[in-house]
Amino acid sequence: MKRIMRRALGAALAAAMVVSAAGMGVSAEGSAADKIVNVGVTDSLGSVNPLTMDQTEINKYAAGLQFLPLVELDPELNFVGMLADSVTTEDNLHFTVHINEEATWSDGTPVTAQDVEFTLLRLASPVINNATLMLYAFEGVGDDGFVEAGAQSIDGIQVIDEKTIQFTAKYQMALTTFENTYARYIHTLPKHVLGEYSDEELLTLDWFGHPDVVSGPYRMTEYDTDHYVSYTANESYWKGAPKIGALNIKIVEGSQIYSGLQSGEIDITHHTMTAIPQEDYESIEALENAEAVYGLPITNQSAFIQTANVPDARVRQALLCAIDRNQLVEQLLKGHGEVVDGFLSSASPFFDETLEPVTYDPERAKELLADAGWDGSQKLRFYVNSGDSTFVNGAQVLVAQWAAVGINVEVTTVDLATLMTIAGTTDYDIMAVQYTYAPVDPYPDIDWLLNGEGSWTGYTDESIKEGLMGTQQTSDIEEIKGLYSIVDRKVQEDVPMFSVYIISPQGAVSNRLTGASPSAYGFFNDVQNWDVQ
């Protein structure tokens, strides 16, 4: 899901990333080692250790290039096998995952179900202490998402044979939820390499920054969490050796994307990891050496209100009534977006087109504040991702519109990693971040975000709980659509969060790059087939 602070791309970065070579247009007939591709992003990297990273998109993709997830979504929102070749269930409680028979580590060792079990034991370790994968849904895992320190097995995760592992949930879970929430985010690690290390050692193991054994198409060689990640091809990749010898993720300011595409120093961007400033859209569309590609409206510029600090729903309603979201779409997004209430965009099969968004009504906002006894002396703390330059500007518009109705809001911009740290506390009143709710299965994200104390909203409601649980007990699309509508309508009423707008983001790809196209999902699925001409 994901900067004002300047990132100096100095001589050290230029040398590490061989930027000059990247723009040379190496012949497709040349060797893979001679070919370099740079992926431009604007989000900062949080961690390169799959055991400690959170589930933001840049962390997921940076890890997934080396350690494949079990499955992934493709650009058409279908689940496709990556490390696994099948995931099945007969009762929405037991999920059987079969690892592809061809899957091997780069040293030739087969990838096994024992590797998956080893990885899950580490992820469930209270020593590792990473709760973002929400493993509490499975038998044998505590409600905190952890097992006992030193546990050698998990009741709800059983190895059936060398290539088969079964997960047993505590409660019914839709297959799409299992695939989207767990199978897409479990980055299996090599037990035969890491099994000798304690959990304490794995927390800080330098190996993760330059692993010598991987299951994916690339392995990391160097990184700087604020500037770049550099990879070299895994020539032993079991799906076929990559045609591109070196791949770099370049972390830059949004204002640098256009010039990078123009000069050839950036070859491709990713819709959900790259916030291209709206003022550059037309310039990128006009480039002769690159093609602009707009994505589906799935990226939600979400604003989460910490209801523990803003407990009166009337104040939260006033925050929503006081802003002109249609104006933001037209002026900030140049029309490439939409306004909705709740979580779901028009790209979701569960979108309720009859739910009319709350309209801009500053007089109504003033009435709500008066009813709530708001005297204007309070100051709300609003945290924003500095890597999203478009919304940094948009936040100032919101602050001005809130001030016009008597709500004093102070904006603080921080990088994405810091924002995620703040989000884990209650030291904010409003927190905005781009959040991509999987159109095919928004359940886990919504369930967590509206799950009371400890969530980004601190909000919960029984009707929402019942509606969300119902989505896990049926496969009927219209029934699921009705249940999500209950959720979105209640969120519209109580406003624990609101969608500032839904973005139809711009991506871009260099004409010299073949076999690749910007997409919110499936971006790196077949990266081994990318090539340059």
Residue 504 has pLDDT above 60, yes or no: yes
43 belongs to a structural domain: yes
Contacts 24+ apart (CB under 8 A), 87-91: 87/175, 87/178, 87/179, 87/183, 88/175, 89/175, 89/178, 91/172
One domain for residues 176 and 223: no
Mean pLDDT of 200-217: 97
Q: What's the pLDDT at 4?
A: 25
Beta-carbon contacts of residue 311 (< 8 Å; ≥ 6 apart): none
One domain for residues 380 and 413: yes
One domain for residues 231 and 340: no
Q: How confident is the model at residue 29 (pLDDT cuts 50, 70, 90)?
A: low
Q: What's the pLDDT at 533?
A: 87
Residue 426 has pLDDT above 90, yes or no: yes
One domain for residues 376 and 443: yes
Instruction: Examine the fold and report which residue of 164, 194, 224 is the final residue of a domain before the chain moves on.
Output: 194
Residue 24 has pLDDT above 50, yes or no: no
Residues 219-228: tens digit of each pLDDT: 999 999 999 9
One domain for residues 168 and 222: no
Distance of alpha carbon 6 from alpha carbon 26, whole angstroms: 31
In the chain, the percentage of residues whose pLDDT exceeds 90 is: 79
Residue 359 has pLDDT above 90, yes or no: yes
Question: What is the pTM for the complete model shown?
Answer: 0.76
210 belongs to a structural domain: no
Q: What's the pLDDT at 308?
A: 96
Measuring CA to CA, which residue among 269, 164, 182, 196 is closest to residue 509? Answer: 269
Q: What's the pLDDT at 444?
A: 86
CATH classification of the domain holding 385:
3.10.105.10
Q: What's the pLDDT at 22?
A: 38
Q: How confident is the model at residue 23 (pLDDT cuts 50, 70, 90)?
A: very low
Q: How far is CA 361 from CA 1, 271, 316, 326, 380, in A?
A: 30, 32, 14, 12, 20
Q: What's the pLDDT at 3?
A: 25
490 belongs to a structural domain: yes
Mean pLDDT of 448-460: 93
Task: Provide the domain limits for residue 172.
Answer: 71-194
Contact (Cβ atoms closer than 8 angstroms) between residue 510 and residue 269: no
Residue 516 has pLDDT above 70, yes or no: yes
- Look up residue 180 and give its DSSP letter: I
State in Å, rounded, how far the first CA of the chain is from the last one. Answer: 32
Q: What's the pLDDT at 10?
A: 33
Task: Decide which of 182 and 24 is more confident.
Answer: 182
Alpha helices (runs of H) in 351-428, residue ranges in sequence order: 362-371, 389-404, 416-423
Q: What's the pLDDT at 30?
A: 63
Residue 355 has pLDDT above 90, yes or no: yes
One domain for residues 256 and 182: no
Task: Decide which of 37 and 23 is more confident.
Answer: 37
Instruction: Examine the fold and report which residue of 129, 163, 194 is the final residue of a domain before the chain moves on.
Output: 194
Mean pLDDT of 459-486: 92
Buried b (16+ CB within 10 A) or exposed e, 250-282: bbbbbebbbebbbebbbbbbbbbbbbbbbebbe
Largest Cα–Cα distance in the chain? 72
Mean pLDDT of 488-497: 98
Task: Decide which of 71 and 1 is more confident.
Answer: 71
Q: How confident is the model at residue 470 (pLDDT cuts 50, 70, 90)?
A: very high
Mean pLDDT of 227-244: 97
Distance of alpha carbon 390 from alpha carbon 257, whole angstroms: 13
Residue 139 has pLDDT above 80, yes or no: yes
Q: Residue type for 459, please? A: Y
Residue 9 has pLDDT above 70, yes or no: no
Residue 97 has pLDDT above 70, yes or no: yes
One domain for residues 95 and 42: no
One domain for residues 250 and 262: yes
Mean pLDDT of 266-276: 92
One domain for residues 456 and 510: no
Beta-carbon contacts of residue 286 (< 8 Å; ≥ 6 apart): none
Question: Residue written as tokens 């040349």?
Answer: 30
Q: What's the pLDDT at 447?
A: 93
209 belongs to a structural domain: no
Mean pLDDT of 34-50: 93
Backbone dihedral region for residue 106 (phi beyond 0: left; psi -120 to 50: alpha; all else: beta): alpha
Q: How confident is the model at residue 214 (pLDDT cuts 50, 70, 90)?
A: very high
One domain for residues 462 and 334: yes
Task: Decide which of 133 and 422 is more confident.
Answer: 422
Residue 21 has pLDDT above 70, yes or no: no
Lowest mean pLDDT among 2-6, 283-287, 360-364: 2-6
Beta-carbon contacts of residue 44 (< 8 Å; ≥ 6 apart): 3, 58, 225, 226, 251, 387, 415, 416, 417
Instruction: Examine the fold and report which residue of 141, 164, 194 is the final residue of a domain before the chain moves on.
Output: 194
Residue 499 has pLDDT above 50, yes or no: yes
Q: Are strands 299-305 and 430-436 parallel, antiparallel or unpaired?
A: antiparallel
Residue 1 has pLDDT above 80, yes or no: no
Query: Based on the structure, what is the number of domains in the chain?
Result: 3
Triad 383, 387, 390: Cα angle to 5°: 85
Distance of alpha carbon 326 from alpha carbon 13, whole angstroms: 40
| Mean pLDDT computed over every residue of the chain | 91
211 belongs to a structural domain: no
Which residues are registered as beta bridge partners of 509? Answer: 268, 291
Tokens encoding 526? 């077949």
Measuring CA to CA, which residue among 233, 218, 397 is closest to residue 301? Answer: 397
154 belongs to a structural domain: yes
245 belongs to a structural domain: yes
Residues 241-269: tens digit of each pLDDT: 999 999 999 999 999 999 999 999 999 99
Mean pLDDT of 160-169: 98
Which residues are registered as beta bridge partners of 39? Answer: 249, 268
One domain for residues 327 and 434: yes
Beta-carbon contacts of residue 421 (< 8 Å; ≥ 6 apart): none
Q: What's the pLDDT at 131?
A: 84
Rg (CA), the chain: 23
Q: What's the pLDDT at 188?
A: 98
Helix (H) or strand (E) holding 302: strand 299-305
Mean pLDDT of 106-118: 98
Q: What's the pLDDT at 278?
A: 81
One domain for residues 267 and 381: no
332 belongs to a structural domain: yes
Residue 388 has pLDDT above 90, yes or no: no
CATH classification of the domain holding 286:
3.40.190.10
Distance of CA 405 to the CA centre of its chain: 34
Mean pLDDT of 104-118: 98
